[in-house]
Amino acid sequence: MTSMEGLAVMTSGGDAAGMNPAVKCVVDYARSLGYKPYIIRNGLTGMVEDEISEATQEDVSGIMHRGGTLFRSSRCPQFFEYEARKKAYDNLKKHNIDKLVVIGGDGSFAALNQFYSDFKVPFAGIPATIDNDIPGTDYCLGVDTALNVIRESIDSIRDTAHSFSRAFVVETMGRHCGYLAMASALASGAEICLVPEIEYDMEKIGVRLRKEIAAGRGYFIAIVAEGTNMGSYLTRWINDSLNMDARLTVLGHVQRGGSPTVTDRVMAYKFAVSAVDALHQGHTDYISTYKEGTLGYKSISEVTNAKVELDPRMIKLCTPLAQ
């Protein structure tokens, strides 16, 4: 390796708190190993359109506390076309960039895997998605911050639920994975939790909650993952079946924002060092992982060919909330 070999970092896919600290650490650590660090702005689109520049101290100073991604992201359908990927490759060669770190989700990793298949540019992935739905890793950047945003929202909602003896249905993000909803339900003491991973029984839920209402419960909180498509239905069901005024709160994209928590800032550093080390050691298409408290790597094929498996202990804890 020469001192001028370029290593670029980019953020891609849905934004997540922790991306900015990860970019900073990639830049700083790569420089310490003798690479010339570059930043690709605007995700895959920026690679195609040559929004690539050498990383400066100003780029990565004072960004640890910033949410989302200062370097922007994008959806890039044109990257499915070989001509666009060839253009991106030519841009990298122009800057003498031979290695890539991509901070994003499985879609971004799959795109870079195709790029590697075409042009053999080594890449390492840092998992970053608040859904926590990347196979092979227990944790993705942004999850802890999102959970704290949800927790604060539910705590505020509980205040007004108690004041007016109402039920509130809170819908979290999670199209295919119910991790946010389950963790939030446990952390907030919710009475109902509906997620794709657990079969729910509305009749049993009704029997349980009627007993609790008869025993003096004046309000309750229900958490649903957006992937269940049950938010509106559950709100109407509570009104009609339990004779309790119910309101629906869809948290939406507020869950992606906010200053990264300490956990996400520290994990950003750990993932970034792991990703740069993988490239420095000669790995070509690896994803940094965090499994049972240990950092590691998985090949992109292991990630894309596997299914997300949530902690069975969490599923067991949440199952009574769906019955």
Give catalytic residues, as residue numbers. 131
Q: Please provide the DSSP assignment of 94-143 as one string.
A: HTTEEEEEEEE-HHHHHHHHHHHHHH---EEEEEB-TT---TT-S--BTH
Contact 290, 139 (CB under 8 A): yes
| Residues in Cβ contact with 319 at an 8 Å cutoff, skipping those fewer than 6 apart | 198
Structure tokens at 82: 């070989």
Contact 157, 172 (CB under 8 A): no
HEC secondary structure over 227-267? HHCCHHHHHHHHHHHHCCCEEEEECHHHHHCCCCCHHHHHH
CA 16/CA 172 separation, integer angstroms: 15
The angle that helices 143-164 and 179-188 make with each other, rounded to 10 degrees, is: 50
Task: State in Å, rounded, how far the first CA of the chain is from the last one.
Answer: 59
Residue 225 is classified by DSSP as E
Distances (CA, A) of 132 to 176, 246, 303, 305: 10, 29, 13, 17
Single-letter amino acid code for the residue at 153 = S
Q: How many helices (H) and strands (E) does the chain have?
A: 12, 11
Residue 320 is classified by DSSP as G
